[in-house]
Structure 1
Amino acid sequence: MNARDIPFWNVEEVRKWGIQALESEEMTEEYPIMEGSDKAVEKINHVIPVVGYLTLRQTSVRDATKRWLAKHGFPDEPVITRPNNLKLEDGMKWKADTLAYLYPQVIGSIDDTLDIFNYLPSSYKGTIFLYGQTDYPKSDLNIIPCKTWDDVYKKVIEHQLARGA
């Protein structure tokens, strides 16, 4: 179901609020944290160093995003943001292209949306730990579904052991 399918919502107002939420430094700094993500990423960072954050947030809120990450105790690493002039609807393709470009320096990613798979090339050899999912469409990509943040951590460990790292 989309917001436009909810009859009592003014879709234009919802769209404007959504754009404001994506462009506002103040709102960015107040986003709620996914419970358990901070602890899981901290533990993961001891197994595979976190080398950066790739986000659909636009460049204009990069500093606010860095402050948010610091406030929640995430590793201090670079934040790669969507260029301000790139439309949000083109963002997932940009994110997939960027992730593919960064391989093999970036060997994988944790993501919470299936959308990235529509844009990653089938030749992408990195690993996607798919948070919040137990199933996904059949793919040639290396996708590891992880229902919880504890599962993400466990799957990262298993994956590293299987790689012989």
Structure 2
Amino acid sequence: MKYSTARQGRIFVIRLEDGDIVHEEIEKLARSEGISAGALIILGGADEGSRLVSGPRESRSKPVVPLEAVLDNVHEVAGTGTLFPDEDGNPALHMHMAFGRLGEPNRTGCIRTGVRVWHVMEAVLVELLDSTAVRRLDDATGFALLDP
């Protein structure tokens, strides 16, 4: 385990609107408000055609080959994530959501390939101050791993 400390900063109450791409809007907000690090919770609806990464093709293969799922209908969502800068200083959201719809199997995955808002999503973003954490590319896995 590796860790560092940070302080709590501002708290943002966010309403994402119909058609917004979640990670793009959160990262845009971070740039415009000067947020370099944060923790986020979110809930609402994901539109059909939303894409998520839901597991590797094989458990321990390197590099990791992701499995991508595409929603074929609207789903309810709840998610949590973190926001830290990449190696170039750009805000990079890492968020996982659980997707559910009556009569269909639930899915869970990373939203980095594009989850689109259906009508509305609500989020609370807690800014983290004095954080030294950065996402760094790990050549073995292909992941941008958190370096606290």
Q: TM range, normalised to the smaller chain? A: under 0.3
Structure with more of its chain in strand, by fraction: 2
The TM-score, its normalising length taken from structure 1, stands at 0.24
The TM-score, its normalising length taken from structure 2, stands at 0.26
Greater relative contact order structure (CA < 8 Å, 6+ sep)? 2
The structure number with the bigger radius of gyration is: 1
